[in-house]
Structure 1
Amino acid sequence: MLPADSQLSELYYIFCILTTVIFTMDKGSVLTHILKSNDMSTLLGGELPVSVISNNKYISPLTAEAQAADRNGEEDPPSLDCAIHTALSGEIKSVILVGPEGSGKTTALVKLVMGWAKGEHLQKFSYVFHFRFRELNSLDGALSLETLLLHHHSHAPPESVPLLLQKPEDVLFVFDDLDRYKHSLDPSVHTLCSDPTQAASVPCLVASLLHGSLMKGATFVVATRPTSGLEFLSGTRVEVLGFLKPQREAYFNGFFTDPAVAKKALTHMERTLGFYDVCASPKFCWTVCSVYKSLMDAGAKLPETLSQLCVDILVHLIQTLSLNNASSRDLVLALGKLASHCFLDQHSSCTKEEMDSFGFQQFLNSVGVFLHVEGDQSDVFSFRSQLMQEFLLAASFFLDKSPSEGVEKMLEKHKGCVKFLDFFMSGLSEPLQRRPLENVLGELNSDRIVDFKSWFKSSSEKTLKECYKERQHRCFHLLHQAQSESLVKEIITPSARVGISYGDLSLQDCVALSYVVTCLGEMEQLNLYGTKNLTEEQAERLIPAMSISQKIILSGSSVSTGAVHHLASALSRGLTKELDLSNSRLGDEKFKILCAGLRDCKLHTLKLLMCRLTEGICEDLAPVLTSATSQLSVLDMRSNQIGDQGFTTMCKALHSPHCKLQELMLQNCELTAASMETLSAAVCSGQSQLRKVGLTHNVIGDRGVETLCKSLQHPLCKLQSLNFFDSELTGACCPHLMEALMSEHCSLTELDLSVNDLGQEGALLLCQALSRPGCPMEKLGLKRCKLTEAVFKELSSVLRSGTSQLKSLIVGINAVGDQGVKHLWDAVAHPNCLLEELDVEMTGLTDACVEDMCAAIRASKTLKSLELRNNTLTDVSVPALVEVMQDSPNMKEMNLKYNEFSEEVFDMLDECDTIRY
C-alpha cells in the first residue's frame, strides 16, 4: 500500500496523462472542424480565412503601433499575430482586438486556433473554444456552460468537458464579431453566474464568462469592430490597422502569378485608391484584386476612383446572377431600401420579415452575393461590406423613379451614419461613370441627377466663400469622384476662396486638392500653412499642384526629408515664383536637398525665416545664387545662425554676373561688423543687383556702419534700403551716415535706425544731411533713438524745406511731449511737406495737442496714416478725432490703440471705419 499522499500524487499524475491524451487527440478534431467551415466566399466577403491560411497566402495584419513604427522608419513594424502571442504568453487574461471591417481580425483568430491545434504555439492552453457572437445570437432557452460547450463544439469529447471546467486557467476562449452581438454585455442587466453546470440564458453565460464570474482564471481573446459594447469589457486592447503599403505589395504579389501584372495592379491601386482607409483592409484588397483580374482578363480599363470601382463591382455581381435589367433594377432598389433601414436604425442585421417588406421575396436565393445569410433557418441578413452598402444606397436613390425627398434631405437624414454616400452620388452623377451600371440596370433618374448637381453647385459656392477647411476638402473630394474637368472649372470660379490654409492634409486630401488644381491649370497660391507633418507620400501626390502654383506657403510646417525631395522636384519643373518655408524647422540637411531644385527654377522669392539653418548651408546656397538659370531676387533668412563666416560665403556669390539677388533679409543672424567689409566689397563690385539689406537685431555696431557708409558713396553701389534696427549703434556712426547721405552717388531711399542710442547730436547730423538738395531719402526710422525737441524742430524744418523727399517718418517712443511733436504738426500743415505716414507712438501726447493735430490733418494734401498708439489721449478728444477723419478723404488710417479711452466712446469711434482703437 502506498501512503495516502503518494496515492493522491499518483492519481493526479494519471489524471494529467489522461487529460493530455484526450486534449491532444481533440486538437485534430478542432482542426477538422475549422477546415469544414461552411462560410460562403463572395466578391464582397473576402477570401475565406481557411483558404488563405491553407494556401500559405496569409499576411499578418498590423496594429496601430505599426503605423507609428512605419513613420519612424522601423523596418519590422509589429504584426497583429505578434501582439496577440506576446499578450497571451504572459499573465494577461483578456485581449481585445478592435479594428474596422475587413482588417483581418477573423482570419488572425482562425490562424490562432489552427496554430494551437497544430501544436505550433500557445501550448500552455489545454483547450481552445472558438465562438462567433453572431452564431450565439440564435441560441435561445437556458443552457449550462457545459451544455453550451458540447452543443457548440460537438468535436469536443464529452468526457473531457467536466475535467477542463475544473481547470479554467488551461482554457482559452476566442470570441469573434462582438459588434454583431445583439445582447448587452452590461453586467448590471444580468444575474451573473459562477457554476458551469448551472442553466442560464446564453446572454447571461456570455456576460458571466467575459466578466470573470464564470470560469474564473480562463483567458479570453475578443475581436470586434468599434462598438458601444466595448465600454463593458476590460483587458489589453490591441488596435488592428490592417495592411500598410508593404503588406499590400506582398498581398498583390501573392494574388497575381505574373509579377508584372501584380506590379501594374498595385501601382494602379496606390495611385487611385491607396489613400483611402479602406485600403488597409485585407478584405478590400482581395475585392480589388478580384475586380482588377476580371477587368484585365477582359482587356477593360481599370477604375480611376472609388465610385468607378464600386460600379465595376456591382456590374460584376449583377452579371453573375443572370437577371434581366428589370429584375436587376428591382434587386438594387430593394438593397438600397435595406441599406437605408440598417443605417438609420443602426442595425447591422435584418430579419426575413423585414426583408419581405423591402421587396426581397423573389430574390432570397440571390442576395447571398451581397449579404451574410445567418441563423438556423437562414432568417438573419446583414451586409457583407459597409462600403458597398453605401454605394447601393446611392445607386438606388438615382434609380428610383418615384417622387420622394430631395438630395439635401436624403443626405441630412443619413448624416453621421455614412462616410462615402455623397462621394458615390457625385461619381454616379457623371455620364461616363454611370454608363456601365445603366447597361445592366437601365437609365438612372435624370431628375434626381439634376437635383444632385444643383445641390452640389449651390453648396460648393457657399463653401468656397467660407473659411472652413474641412468643408472645402469635402468639396474637392466630391469633384475628384466626379472626374470632370468642366465641372471643376464651373464650380471653382475665379472668385472662389481657394487660398485658405490646407495644413494637416490627409493623403486623401492631397489627392483631391491636386486633382482640382490640375484641372484649373494654374493656382495663384497653394497654402499649406501649419502642416504638422508633410510626409513623402503626401508631397508626392501634391507635386502636380505644387508645380503649377505661383506661390507655395509652408510656413509653420514640419516637412519630412522625403517631402523636401518632391518639393525640390516640383520647383525645378514648375511655375512657382514664391516659396515660404518660414518657421518650418527645415534644418541644414533638408535645405541641402532643396537646393537641388532651386538651381533651375522660376523662384523669385524664398522665405527661410527661423528654419534652424547654420553657416553650413551657405556653401550650398552660393551655387544657387550664381546659377545662370536662377531667378531668385528676394531671400529672407531672418533668425538663422548664419554668422559672419556663412554670410561671407554668401557675399562672394554677389560678385557673380548671374546673381539676381535684390533683397536680402538677415535679421538676427548673428552677424557682426567683421562681415560688413565683405558686403561692402560685393555691393561696389559692379555686378551686384542688391537693393535692400535688412540687418536688424545684429551686432553691427558703429564700425560696421562706417564700413557700409563707404560703399554708399561708391558710384557702382545700388543699395536703396538699409535696416539697422537694434544693431547696437550710437551717435558715433552718424558722422559717417551724414557723409554718405551727402554724397551725390548715394541712392539710399529707406533707412531704419530705430532702437539705437543716436541721441540729439547724432540725429542733428542726420537732419543736416537730409537737408541736402537732391537727397533721395523717402523713409526714415528713428523710433526710440533718444531724440529731443531740438531734433523734432530740425526735422520739421527739413520737411518744410521744399527739397525733402520724405514720405514716411517714424519717430515714436521718443519722449518729447506735445511741445516737441507740435513742430511736426506745423510741418504736416505746410504745403511743401510730402509726408504720407507719420508715427508718433508713445511720445507723451495729451488732449492739448489735438487742435494742432486736426488742423495739420485738414491742411495736409498727402498724409494717409497716423500712428498714435500708447499716448494719453482721453474721451475729450474723441469727437474732434472722429470728425477730422470723416472730413479728410486722404486719411486711410489713424491708430489710437492703448490710449486712455473709456467704453463710453467706443460707439462713437465705431462710426469711423478708418480709426483703430
Structure 2
Amino acid sequence: MDKDTVLTHILKPRGMSTLLGGEPPVSVINNNKYISQLTPDAQLTDRNVDDNSPSLDHAIHTALTGDIKTVILMGPEGSGKTTALEKLVVDWAKGEQLQRFSCVFFLRLREISSLEGTLSLEALLQRHCSHIPPEYMPLVLQKPEDVLFVFDDPDQHQLCLDPSAHVLCSDPSRAASVSCLIASLLYGSLLKGASFVVATRPTVCLKFLSAAWVEVLGFLKPQREAYFNGFFTDPASANTALMHMERTLGFYDFCTSPRLCWTVCSIYKTLMDAGAKLPETLSQLFVDILVHLIQALSLNKACNRELMLALGKMASHCSLNQHSSCTKEELHSFGFQPFLTSVGVFLQVDGDLHSDACVLSFISQLMQDFILAVSFFLDKSTSEGVEKMLEEHKGQTKFLDLFLSGLSEPAQRSPLETLLGEFNSDQIMHFRRWFKSSSEETLEGCYKDKHHRCFHLLHQAQNKSLVKEIITPSARTGISYGDLSLQDCIALNYVVTCLDEMERLNLYGTRNLTEEKAEVLAPAMSLSQKILLSDSSLSTGAVHHLASALSRGLTEELDLSYTRLGDEKLKLLCAGLRDCKLHNLKLLACRLTEASCEDLVSVLTSGTSQLRVLGLMCNQIGDQGFMKLCKALHSPQCKLKELQLQGCEMTAASMEALSAALCTGKSELRKVDLTQNTIGDSGVEALCKSLQHPLCKLQSLKLFDNELTGACCPHLMEALMAEHCSLSELDLSVNDLGQKGALLLCQALSQPRCPVEKLGLTRCELTQPVFKELGSVLRSGTSRLKSLIVGMNKVGDQGVKHLWDAVSHPSCLLEELDVEMTHLTDACVEDLCAAVRASKTLKSLELRNNSLTNASVPALIQVMEDSHSMQEMNLKYNDFCEEVFDMLDECDKIRY
C-alpha cells in the first residue's frame, strides 16, 4: 500500500470546523498539539497488556505488537479517541509505528452506517477507501494477518454488532449488510487473523468481543495545563484562563474532554480579547457559547428564534427517543428548511447535506441539553409544565434542570434575549415556583443526593437572595451530606457563603475529604458555628485547610470523632486551634497517643485558645499523656472546664497529677469523665484529696467501670462530707461497691453539707439494706439528691419499695429515678402509683427491662395522666403483649 497516499488522505481537511466540534484532529496532528500523555492512568483490562503504560499511544502499540488482535479504546464524547486513531494511522504511514502491518484501513463508521441494502467487503472498502487502488485490494485481503482495521464510533450510529443477530459471512466478495460485515470482521469470521483498533463511548454494543480494553481518560489537570499553554500565546493569559476554568468547571467529569477544552479556550479568548467577564457557571459558559455561534450566522432576531426552536424540537426528539442522530427527513419536520446551510454550526453532518442519506447529530450532549432548556423558555406556543418536561426527559438528560435554573435568572439569559427576543415569562415564573416548592420539600427530607441537587441548582442560578429565601434557618439544621464530590463541595460552599453564617455544617461520614475539596469548603467551614466531621476521612491537606478555617472563622464546636486523625494530623490542626473561637472539640477514637498531648497542652496554655470542652475518649494517651495534660491545668491561661477521658488507658499512676492540678486554684475544670479507666481504689483515694481542697472547683466526676471496690468508699465518704467539696454529680456505676461500701456513701449523702444532687449506682451489687438506707436519705430533709440511678441491682419489689415510700415523702426532692432491671413485678405498681401521685417533684421514671405485664398498664396510664409533674415514664422491654399497645399509644408521656 502507498503510505504517502494514505497520509495525504488522512491529513486532508474534512468538513466544517466548528467551535463545538473542537479543534479538528488533522489540525492537532499537523501543528504538533497532540499531547502524548493523553491518558497517564490508562487502564488496560487484559493481562497480556502492560498495566503501567505511560500513554495512550504506548498502550495501543504494546497491545498490537503482542498476541492481542483487538484493542478497544473506551471513553466519553470528546475525550480524544478520534484524534488518537488518526495519529495512529499517521504514525504508521510515516513509518514510525506498527510496521508489521502492510495495510491499514481507517473507517469512520458514522459515514457508512446509513448505507442501506447489501454490499461486499471488497465493495465497501473500495467505496470508502478510494485512495487505495482497486487492483491492490484482493492482494491485501489474501493476507489478513498483515491488515489493521481502525474503526471509529460504532456505538453512535445504530450498528448492530451482536454476532447472534447475524449470519456471519466469511467471503470478502459476498454481499451483506454493513452491520453484518463489521460484526463478521470483529468476531473473526471474515478475514480471520486481521487486527482491529476500535474507538467507542461506554456502551454494551461490543460486550461480546474478546479484546484488550483501554480506558481513555482524556485531559487530566496536567494535560489541561499543557493544552492551555499551547493554545494561548501569552503565558499570563493561559494561566488566567486555566485557573478560571479549574475554579468554575474543573470539578465536572466532562472537563477531561479535549473537545471541551478547545471550546472553553476559544470562548475565553474571545471574551478576554473583548475585555468581557469570564463565565462563573456552566450555564453562563453555554450562554456565551450559544451567543458566539448565533452571532457567527448573522441572521435577524426572528430567524435566530426560529432556528433555535427547530434545534429545540430536534433536541427533544433525540432525548425522548434515545437517538443520537436524525435523518434529513426528520430534520425537515422540525422546521429546518430555511436553515440547512447553517446547521453545521450546531450539528455534526455525516454525508452530503443535499443527500437524503445524510445523518445529523448534536456534537455535544451538553449542548443538546442546553438547547432543550433554551427552547423550553423560548417557546410561547406551549404551556407544558416544568414537572412534566423534566419527568419526560428523566434519565436522558443530565444537566437540563441545571440549565433551566441558570436561564431562569434575568442576568444570565439577557445576552440570549438580545439575539432571540424575550423568553416566555409564564414558563420562567412557573419554573421559579416549582423550584422553590420542590427545594423546600427536598430540604425537609433526608435524601442527601436530593439536597446536593438542590444546592447545584442554586449555584447555577447565582442569586444570593434566592438562596436565603429557600434555605431558611429551620432548613439548615440536621442536613447530613455524607460523601461529597468536588462539584458538591462547590455548590455547598456557594450556598453557605450566600447565607453568611451556618448554624450546623453536617459533614458526617465524608470519607473522601481531600485537600482540594477542603480548600473549596474552607469558606463554608469558617462561617459555621458547629462542624460535624465524625466518621470522616481527612487527608493531611484537608486538615491544613480545616485548621486555617477555624483560625479565622466562627466555629465554636468541632466533632472529629472516629476520623482516625492520628498524632501528625492533630499537630496540623492545633496550629489553627491556638487562635480561634472553638469552645468544644471532640476527638473520640482518633488514634491519638501520648505525643498528641504535648500539642494539646501547647494550645491550652497559649493564652488565646477558647477551648472549654475537650473530648479525648477512646484514645491511647495513657498515664504519661494524661500527666502532660495535667500540666496545662496548672496554667492560668487554660480555660478548660470539661475533660472527657473515657477509655484512655489510664491507671491510678496519673490520678495524683490530676489531684494536684485541681488543688492549684488555677484550674477551671468543672467536669471530669474517667469512665472505663482502671484507676482502682488507690486512684480514687488520690482524687478524694482534691475534692476536699478549698480551691478545687470540680462539680462532676464520673468513675463508671473503674474497677473500684468498697475499699474506696471511706475516702469518698470523707470527701463528700468535707466543708469545701463542690461535687454535685457522682457516677460510680459498674463497680463492685457492695453493701458495706454503699452504706458508707449513704452516711455521707444524709449530711446537710453533702453537695451531691445526681448519683449513679447502676450495677454496683447493691442490696435491700442499701435501698432501705437510700430511702432514709431521700426522706431525711437534708439530702440534695435530685437524680438517683440504681438500675441493674437485683433487689426486687421489696428493695425498691423503700424508694417508693421515700418518693411519697414531702421532704424528697427527687426528680429522676432509674430502677431499670431491678426485677420489678406487678406487685410494686400500687406503691409506685401512690408515690407518683404524692410526689411534687418527680419528672422521670425509668422502668425498662423489668417484669411488668398487661395487668399494670391501666393503672400506669392513669397515674401518668393524673400527674402534673411527671413528664416521662419508660416501660420498654417489659412483658407486655400487643393488645395493650393501643392503650399505651394514647398516653404521650409513656415510652414503650
Normalised by the shorter chain, which TM-score bucket? over 0.9
Q: Structure 2: which amino acid aligns with 1:777?
A: V
Aligned sequence identity (%):
77
What whole-Å deviation, never above 9, does each CA across 1:801-853 have from its counterpart, x for those lacking one? 11111111111111111100111111111121121211111111111111111
2: distance between equivalents of 1:221 and 1:671?
66
2: distance between equivalents of 1:913 and 1:97?
64
Is residue 257 from structure 1 mapped to residue 236 from structure 2 by the alignment?
no
Q: Tell me, yes or no, if the aligned pair for 1:62 and 1:77 is still in contact at 8 Å.
A: no
Look up the match of 1:5: none
- Higher alpha-carbon deviation: 113-122 or 712-721: 113-122
Specify the SS of the correspondent of 2:215. strand
Cα 1:89–1:666 shift into 2, 3 Å:
farther
| Pairing partner for 1:354 from 301, 312, 330 | 330
Look up the match of 1:559: 538
2: distance between equivalents of 1:720 and 1:39?
84
Is residue 722 from structure 1 mapped to residue 701 from structure 2 by the alignment?
yes
2: distance between equivalents of 1:889 and 1:65?
70
Is residue 53 from structure 1 mapped to residue 32 from structure 2 by the alignment?
no
Look up the match of 1:308: 284
Look up the match of 1:96: 72
Is residue 695 from structure 1 mapped to residue 674 from structure 2 by the alignment?
yes
1:197-212 alignment, distance < 5 Å:
197-212=173-188
Is residue 363 from structure 1 mapped to residue 339 from structure 2 by the alignment?
yes
Specify the SS of the correspondent of 1:519. helix
Look up the match of 2:274: 298
2: distance between equivalents of 1:401 and 1:792?
82
- Higher alpha-carbon deviation: 175-184 or 846-855: 175-184
| Pairing partner for 1:663 from 614, 639, 642 | 642
Q: Tell me the TM-score normalized by structure 2.
A: 0.96
C-alpha deviation, 1:589, in angstroms: 1.3
Is residue 713 from structure 1 mapped to residue 692 from structure 2 by the alignment?
yes
Specify the SS of the correspondent of 1:214. coil
1: distance between equivalents of 2:873 and 2:206?
61
| Pairing partner for 2:747 from 760, 764, 768 | 768
Is residue 507 from structure 1 mapped to residue 486 from structure 2 by the alignment?
yes
Look up the match of 2:9: 33
1: distance between equivalents of 2:102 and 2:811?
103
Count of residues in Structure 1 that have an aligned counterpart in Structure 2: 886
Is residue 894 from structure 1 mapped to residue 879 from structure 2 by the alignment?
no
Look up the match of 1:480: 459
2: distance between equivalents of 1:240 and 1:916?
59
What whole-Å deviation, never above 9, does each CA across 1:448-504 have from its counterpart, x for those lacking one? 111111111111111121111111111111111111111111111223255311111
Is residue 543 from structure 1 mapped to residue 522 from structure 2 by the alignment?
yes
1: distance between equivalents of 2:42 and 2:182?
32
| Pairing partner for 1:786 from 748, 765, 789 | 765
- The list of structure 1 runs, each at least 4 consecutive aligned residues, that deviate by more than 6 angstroms after superposition, is none
Specify the SS of the correspondent of 1:898. coil
| Pairing partner for 2:735 from 747, 756, 766 | 756
1: distance between equivalents of 2:130 and 2:404?
48
What whole-Å deviation, never above 9, does each CA across 1:596-641 have from its counterpart, x for those lacking one? 1111110000000011111111111111111111100000010011
Cα 1:700–1:246 shift into 2, 3 Å:
same
Specify the SS of the correspondent of 2:304. helix
Q: Tell me, yes or no, if the aligned pair for 1:61 and 1:104 is still in contact at 8 Å.
A: no
Is residue 411 from structure 1 mapped to residue 390 from structure 2 by the alignment?
yes
| Pairing partner for 2:214 from 218, 233, 238 | 238
Cα 1:622–1:461 shift into 2, 3 Å:
same
Could you list the runs of 5+ residues in structure 2 that have no partner in the other structure?
45-51
Look up the match of 1:142: 118
Q: Tell me, yes or no, if the aligned pair for 2:645 and 2:674 is still in contact at 8 Å.
A: yes
Look up the match of 1:846: 825
Q: Tell me, yes or no, if the aligned pair for 1:549 and 1:576 is still in contact at 8 Å.
A: yes
2: distance between equivalents of 1:81 and 1:830?
90
- Higher alpha-carbon deviation: 710-719 or 49-58: 49-58
| Pairing partner for 1:335 from 306, 311, 315 | 311
1: distance between equivalents of 2:145 and 2:862?
89
What whole-Å deviation, never above 9, does each CA across 1:326-369 have from its counterpart, x for those lacking one? 11111111111111111111111111111111111111111111
2: distance between equivalents of 1:67 and 1:425?
36
1:421-460 alignment, distance < 5 Å:
421-460=400-439
Q: Structure 2: which amino acid aligns with 1:248?
A: R
Look up the match of 1:10: none
Cα 1:400–1:807 shift into 2, 3 Å:
same
2: distance between equivalents of 1:90 and 1:793?
89
Cα 1:529–1:103 shift into 2, 3 Å:
same
Could you list the runs of 5+ residues in structure 1 that have no partner in the other structure?
1-22, 69-75
| Pairing partner for 1:121 from 82, 97, 117 | 97
2: distance between equivalents of 1:66 and 1:677?
61
2: distance between equivalents of 1:442 and 1:718?
75
Look up the match of 2:161: 185
Look up the match of 1:282: 258
Q: Structure 1: which amino acid aligns with 2:188?
A: G
1: distance between equivalents of 2:574 and 2:231?
42
2: distance between equivalents of 1:258 and 1:861?
83
Specify the SS of the correspondent of 2:803. helix
Q: Tell me, yes or no, if the aligned pair for 2:53 and 2:59 is still in contact at 8 Å.
A: no
Look up the match of 2:148: 172
Q: Tell me, yes or no, if the aligned pair for 2:162 and 2:206 is still in contact at 8 Å.
A: no
Is residue 85 from structure 1 mapped to residue 61 from structure 2 by the alignment?
yes
C-alpha deviation, 1:63, in angstroms: 5.1
1:1-80 alignment, distance < 5 Å:
23=1, 26-60=2-36, 65=41, 78-80=54-56
RMSD: 1.7
Look up the match of 2:378: 399
C-alpha deviation, 1:404, in angstroms: 2.6
2: distance between equivalents of 1:885 and 1:211?
79
Q: Structure 1: which amino acid aligns with 2:440?
A: E
Cα 1:480–1:300 shift into 2, 3 Å:
same
Q: Tell me, yes or no, if the aligned pair for 1:61 and 1:241 is still in contact at 8 Å.
A: no
- Higher alpha-carbon deviation: 358-367 or 403-412: 403-412
1: distance between equivalents of 2:179 and 2:581?
70
Look up the match of 1:811: 790
Specify the SS of the correspondent of 2:629. helix
Q: Structure 2: which amino acid aligns with 1:517?
A: V
Q: Tell me, yes or no, if the aligned pair for 2:721 and 2:753 is still in contact at 8 Å.
A: no
2: distance between equivalents of 1:55 and 1:716?
82
Look up the match of 1:604: 583
Look up the match of 1:911: 890
| Pairing partner for 1:218 from 160, 180, 194 | 194
